[in-house]
Structure 1
Amino acid sequence: MRAIALALVALALLPASALAHATLQQTVPQRGAKLDKPPAEVTFRFDESVEASFGALRIFDSKGQEVQTGKAFHPGGKGADIAVKLKPGLGDGTYTATYRVVSADGHVVSSGFVFTVGEASAPSESLDQLLATGSKSGKITTAALGVARALQYAAIALGLGTLIFFLACWRRLGVTSRPFIAKLERLLLVAGILGVVSAVAALALQGAVGEGATFWSAARPDTIKEVLGTRFGRAWGIGAALWIIALIVLATKPLRPRGEPRVVDPPPEGEPALVLAGGAASARGTAPSGAAATIPAPARAAVPVSTPHLVALSVPLFALVLLPSFGGHTSVQSPVAILLPANLLHVLAMSAWLGGIAVLVFALRAATAELEPDQRTPLLAGVVGRFSAIASIALPVLLLSGVVQAIVEVRSFPALLDSAFGRAVLIKVMVAVAIIALGYINRQEILPELRKAAADDSTPGKAGVLLRRTLRLEFLLGLTAIAVTGALSSYAPSVAESSGPYATTAIIGPARLEVTVDPAKVGPNQLHLYLFDRKTGAAFEQTKELDVTAAMPSKNVPPLTLNSHVAGPGHYVVDGATLSVKGKWIISVTDRVSDFDQYQTRFTVPIQ
């Protein structure tokens, strides 16, 4: 509750939020313009920088043929403007300009608009069909990119969390179990390999999504080079390099003990004292014969390791905390001063918690297996006690930073259910509640039982069995949270969702109707309606009266009359159509061509 209260205070201090997703602000020529001669180029102006070399601008004539020439470029070097030149000698007709660009947060945005040169002609395909022209990437490619992100986040949590566990929980216990260290090195190796593979896969998948190509066609050096030129590519390319450095350092065995243990501080109150015996830990009291070293209670020993090697491993692993932010939207979405630190703390806390859980589940048994049953309890209680202290800090930080990001990026309760991003956040919230509940059980019930058993020189018993089960369940919940985070990174935040102008095509009697709703968001919208003769493709000029209404039956919104006016032959415009409720609106168009004949069509427009 304190974490949620602090998050609400943070929200109250937030300035008006700018969106991280690139949004189209203006076009040249203007949307729906009627020109006397074809322009030399078409320009799209966004509210933030977009990638020119990695995007696609296509201009289609009424026959569906592409009429642009050359590559897209930034006019005047302005990152927010992107343009493409047109072929010379274009004739009259209706042209459809489409864009598919990568915004600063790594997400692909696409849409388009229609303009006319001279006499209008019916486009051969709708905007949606033209946007899909040449595109071979689909939902599977996008989902695969989300999986690659999730695997990268899991690698960061595993690698960094293992290191944090070694430094904060294990090293200061004075335990020199080589099988346990070997298990830690194996976990770090798995994290490193997973980190490199997922980073390289993400670069290729981002290329596939950006180009609208398949994974295999995008997995080429030239495409990867283009991706590395983007903000997303630079962040993930550096991430792959950091993992390679970590793997090289790992080959030097940086966690292996070098030298004799040295006495440091006494154990925390309530934690059983340990002594070293035969390279492992034994219970309190006299070490068995053949002990390598003895640390009398209540002292502690720190296992010396090579500091340069440990620093060389720590630097790249801690630097990877930056990857989710700089490869996503939290480093570009306003207010960056709140979202960026919150995300960094979120990743660090997740790593400390989930990586520690992984060590307890997969590695700790290697240390306890070396001991007699009655000697395992002090080690178990000592390790779990230290990790519990870390988790008691990490989980509140994890919750607080997650709540802050959720409030900023979702902003409204309906968005939790109405958007994919909001639903993913809601799942993470439920997973977090379950994790906190398990953590409470471990800290308040299981840990005291372990300490009591250690004081009585008895085996872990039921407490040990219950601890093993709860840790496994926590680990599975952590993996679920990582998977949801991978999905989250593939979605635009609820406050940043940009539907762009909505366009569709319908048949209305003898005419073909092309409709554009701009910007397709709650509030005032402008509708452009183009009528073309289905036989000749010329502007349909037999309309006597055009009636347009908008309704939302699902929210009990009755049909609202939208007044249209003639803007040109077969071209009608509705200015300031107030669509004040988010959701799917039913737009009905009635075309009266005589006193006795009229035709009607309807279509659904999603308003964000």
Structure 2
Amino acid sequence: MKKHINRKLFIFVSILFILLIPHQAYAHALLENTSPAQDSQLETSPKEITLTFNERLEKELYSIKLFDAKGERVSTSATEMSLDQKSLIQRLPELPDGTYTVSYKILSADGHPVDGSYVFSIGEAISQTTQMNPLDSGNQETGTKTIISSTISIFYFLLLLLTTGWILWGTIKKNENEVIKKNARKVVHILQILLLLSVILMGFFQLTNLVNSWSLVEIWSILSNTTIGITWIVSFLLVIVGFLLLHRKKWIDVLWVFLLIAMESINGHANAFEPPIVTIAIDLFHLLAAAIWAGGLFYMVYFWRKQREHVKEMLPLFSDIALIAILLLIVTGISSTYLFLPKLDYLLYTDWGIMLICKVAIVLFVIIAGGILRYFMKKKKESSIGTMLAIDFSFMIIITGIVGVFTHYSPVPQNEPLAWSEQDEAIEFTTSILPKIPGNNHFMVVADAKAEGIEIKRIALNLTFVNNPDIAPIQVPFEERAPAKHVEYMIDGQYLPFAGKWTAEVRILDSEDNEYVYHEDFVVY
């Protein structure tokens, strides 16, 4: 019967692991503003290109390159970074009229590479804008590579928590039984070997996303000058040193665990948000609590069959400490979410948020399972205790899998350019807002009159802030154009001053004074 239950649990957890593997990995640092704007038409040559991102960038592996219509690079000056590490600046020489492509590469503070391109023109219109495409290509992974890197990430987190948690429990309660001590040392040695392997694999796949060529100079530059590289080296050395120093002094074991988990906290989402010292500290305590719960649970499950009396003796202590750890996980998790997200309803708009909601639901099941386990402990029902430990362990693996996949997603929803098209018997038009963020944007309406002999006389674009009806609609001040069958209206300006829900209204007046009105709802994050 027990084997049947365990087999079902294994199948259930395996299916969930497969579902957890992301089909696509998303970049984290998002391009918020560009100058010149995407698809803009300038009268004179700009003095510089400025790209502004939503979070701090690494001080290495960033560049802006400008290419002319022939694909030749036209500026070779060094790319500069602002003091707050959120903007890149490229000084430009005097540029002749023509179409230019801006191509950029950056490394976000949480270790994810991002690249992208956009187009602007000087002195002449762009024949057909790229407004349908987002600004960021995001250096996205797909297919087999994503599955492999995600699997490695999941098992790395699992091994990190199990290894550090097991070692922490060794400092909490001392075992006098030589057989148990020998088995415990054997298990932790295996965990250390597997953890070392997962750290090496994690480093390799992270490097594959960062290097352009596998030269020693470039590899060393990444390892020595980026947060992701430095934390990986320290983690690797800590795991190696662990084979020599662990199990000698309790304070050394605790310090080793603290430092190893700290490296993971520094190299993640927490490092990309403000203030980093607070977000990293919260994440550190979150992972420590997770390690105590996961490691202790693994200890209970491992020794349940062969050393049941020992486990029964430890269960009350584990139950109390695990409850405190779960409560700490909830408090630190809520705190991180509050710091990461400007609004809690953003949880519904990202894969990160959906996965967090699933994680919270499973944590609630863990709390219920813990309550049932305490009840069976009080009633001394050994077979039921073993079953509940197995169920709790399965929940732990699922949660760890979700955490392992978190690194592939951004907590903050991405503002994608608005590309809104409509057509009917009389009018065909496209409206674009780039990059569609609070603040400065590029607004464009391109329209055609379909009826013979009819021209477009005027176009108005009004923006209504749905979240506050006290704010009157904002009119985008397009310049007047001579009536024509095909017209293009465009302007740059701060006509989306707030994040929230908006409605765009396009009013088109033709040469016979017929007015056509269209509406489109969108959200600015």
TM-score (norm 2): 0.74
Residue 233 (structure 1) aligned to one of 223, 229, 234: 229
Which residue of 1 is the match for residue 399 of structure 2?
A: 481
2:386 aligns with 468
Q: Which runs of 5+ in 1 are unaligned?
A: 1-20, 209-216, 256-305, 369-375, 451-462, 534-541
Kindly tell me: are residues 531 and 111 of structure 1, through their superposed partners in 2, closer, same or farther at Cα, counting changes over 3 Å? farther
CA–CA separation in structure 2 for the residues paired with 1:64 and 1:132: 22
Alignment map for 1:489-504 (pairs within 5 Å): 489-494=407-412, 497-499=413-415, 502=417, 504=419
Which of 461, 464, 468 is the aligned partner of 1:548? 461
Which of 251, 255, 258 pairs up with 1:318?
258
Distance across 1 between alignment mates of 2:441 and 2:218: 38
Letter in 2 for 1:446: F
Equivalenced residues, count: 485
Q: Is the 8 A contact 1:95 1:123 kept in 2?
A: no
Residues 551-606 of structure 1 deviation map (CA, whole Å, 9 limit, x = unaligned): 899x99xx9684432189944338554587846x6746465563389999987755
- Supply the AA of the counterpart residue of 1:245: V
Task: Note if 1:192 corresponds to 2:196.
Answer: yes
For residues 339-375 of structure 1, give each alpha carbon's deviation from its aligned partner in whole angstroms, at most 9, with x where no partner exists. Answer: 3322111111110110111122234544x2xxxxxxx
SS in 2 for 1:435: helix
Aligned to 1:594: 511
CA distance in 1, matches of 2:178, 2:488: 84
Equivalent position amino acid for 1:464 in 2: E
For 1:417 and 1:577, how far apart are their aligned partners in 2?
Answer: 26
Structure 1 residue corresponding to 2:302, chosen from 362, 373, 376: 362
Q: Which amino acid in 1 is paired with 2:285?
A: L
- From 235, 239, 243, the equivalent of 1:243 is 239
Which amino acid is 1:105 matched to?
Answer: D
Q: CA RMSD in A?
A: 4.6
Q: Is the CA contact 2:415–2:435 (under 8 Å) kept in the aligned structure 1?
A: no
| Pairs within 5 Å for 1:29-428 | 29=36, 35-39=42-46, 41-46=48-53, 49-51=56-58, 53-59=60-66, 61=68, 63=69, 65=71, 67-70=73-76, 73-74=79-80, 79-84=85-90, 90-108=95-113, 115-123=120-128, 125-126=130-131, 128=133, 131-132=136-137, 137-138=141-142, 145-171=149-175, 176=180, 178-205=182-209, 207=210, 224-228=219-223, 229-246=225-242, 248-249=243-244, 306-307=248-249, 315-366=255-306, 368=307, 376-377=308-309, 379-410=310-341, 412-428=343-359
Give the CA deviation at 1:467: 1.9
Unaligned runs of 5+ in 2: 1-27, 449-454, 482-486
Change (3 A) 1:543 1:243: farther
SS at match of 1:529: strand
| Displacement after TM superposition at 1:469 (Å) | 1.4
Percent of paired sites with the same residue? 20
SS in 2 for 1:424: helix
Q: CA deviation at 1:132?
A: 4.4
Distance 1:83-1:311 versus aligned 2 partners, 3 A rule: same
Deviation at 1:157, TM superposition (A): 0.5
> Is contact 2:437–2:496 with CA below 8 Å preserved after alignment?
no
Superposition pairs for residues 505-524 of structure 1, below 5 Å?
515-521=432-438
**Aligned counterparts of 1:128 and 1:445: Cα–Cα separation in 2:** 57
> What residue in structure 2 maps to residue 529 of structure 1?
444
For 1:79 and 1:394, the matched residues in 2 are separated by: 36
Correspondent of 2:370 among 439, 457, 461: 439
Partner letter of residue 227 of structure 2?
R
Deviation, structure 1 residue 327 = 0.5
Question: 2:479 aligns to what?
Answer: 566
Alignment partners' CA distance in 2, 1:566 and 1:400: 53
Cα 1:336–1:484 change in 2 (3 A) is: same
Indicate the residue corresponding to 1:3 in structure 2. Answer: none
Secondary structure at the residue paired with 1:101?
Answer: strand
Distance 2:363 2:371 in 1: 12
Task: Give the direction of change, closer, same or farther, for the CA distance of 1:390–1:485 in structure 2 (3 Å limit).
Answer: same
Q: Is the 8 A contact 1:162 1:188 kept in 2?
A: no
Q: Is the 8 A contact 2:62 2:107 kept in 1?
A: yes
The one-letter code sitting in structure 1 at the alignment partner of 2:444 is: L
Superposed displacement of residue 235, structure 1: 2.0
Residue 280 of structure 1 corresponds to which residue in structure 2? none
Partner Cα separation in structure 2 for residue 503 and residue 92 of structure 1? 28
Further displaced range: 586-595 or 339-348 = 586-595
Deviation of 1:335 after TM superposition, in Å, equals 3.9
Secondary structure in structure 2 of the residue aligned to 1:201: helix
CA 1:398/1:110 → structure 2, altered by over 3 Å: closer, same or farther? same
